[in-house]
Amino acid sequence: MKVLVTGSAGFIGSAVTLRLLARGDEVVGIDNLNDYYDVALKEARLARHADHPGYTHLTIDLADRAAMEAAFAEHRPRRVVHLAAQAGVRYAAVNPHAYAASNLTGFLHILEGCRHHAIEHLVFASTSSVYGANTRTPFSEHDGTAHPLTFYAATKKANEMMAHAYAHLYAIPSTGLRFFTVYGPWGRPDMAPMVFTRKILAGEPIPVFNHGRHSRSFTYIDDVVEGVVHSLDRIPTGDPSWNGEQPDPASSAAPYRIYNIGAEQPVELLHFIQLLEQNLGMRAQMEMLPLQAGDVPDTAADVTDLVRDTGYRPHVDVETGVRELVKWYRDYHQL
């Protein structure tokens, strides 16, 4: 089938594109190749599938309404995997307008495209950051998420609410995926695993917030890709047991679902750093810092619903994931 993938030069988007092409789908990719981080890395990711006969690339900004309308009208995808966004939790404090343009206005253009072109399923990226001030772990989709701690998280929570409104009003089957700390080969250079790897190899101190005492559901890229594809293949319907007097945030009477995609075993940050040291053969110089504003002490993913409904359970252990990350990093940078 023909699938529109936004963010197709991004970390997750490029990997999802490769997976869909490998199974025989046709992919129309959208990415504006902005310079939030190294454009050369985005171009290198894109080069992996740019020449595939089943791939068509469109260099479009999500906030460009006319261009987005034209893309839907010309290419008429059956399904949409929306992974493009202004990334970065902390950059939102510096340039919030970029997040409003991409994550809010851009997402509205996606929803309108789905509405006017009878898209049979929209899968979109959310984030574990929406759990915000919630401290009950593991994080469950059935828990409330009304207290995001960053503007980035707020825009992603808004995406979930916008998608639900369109699912209710226009019967657009929609699935939101809350990703947990994705890492691995071809990863974003602004995220901690890549920052740590680069600085350790350069002999520079790495910033270790909360003195390394917090834990994260570090989730390997292959697990995220499989979670996305399995979710794409399961079109949601309205939940007949949904009750407005006891509303379940994870489902709806509309064709709408929310799933966590994350490793079930959280890893303490200091242990993740130790694995990097072992695979790099170098010791890290650590600059111990307090917890940053907007950060949560711990994240842990409850993937019960994902496993039940899609049959997929993330399974790549952190030892394997870090080994593959370091191997790719050395190869890519010729170190």
Residues classed as catalytic: 152
Question: CA 238, 127, 167: angle at the middle one, nearest 5?
Answer: 25
SS3 (DSSP) at 6: strand
DSSP type of residue 301: B
- How many Å from the N-terminal Cα to the C-terminal Cα in the chain? 40
Structure token digits, residue 52: 């595939």
**DSSP secondary structure string for all residues of 103-115:** IIIHHHHHHHHHH
Residue 136: partners with Cβ closer than 8 Å, 6 or more residues away: 143
Measure the CA–CA gap between 45 and 39, rounded to whole angstroms: 10
CA distances, 88 to each of 45, 153, 178, 191, 192 (Å) = 19, 10, 15, 8, 11
Structure token digits, residue 3: 């699938």
Question: CA 317, 185, 155: angle at the middle one, nearest 5?
Answer: 90
User: Which ranges constitute the DSSP H helices of 92-220?
Assistant: 96-99, 106-116, 151-170, 192-202
Measure the CA–CA gap between 4 and 188, rounded to whole angstroms: 22
Cis bond upstream, residue 138 (ω within 30) = yes
Measure the CA–CA gap between 196 and 190, rounded to whole angstroms: 10
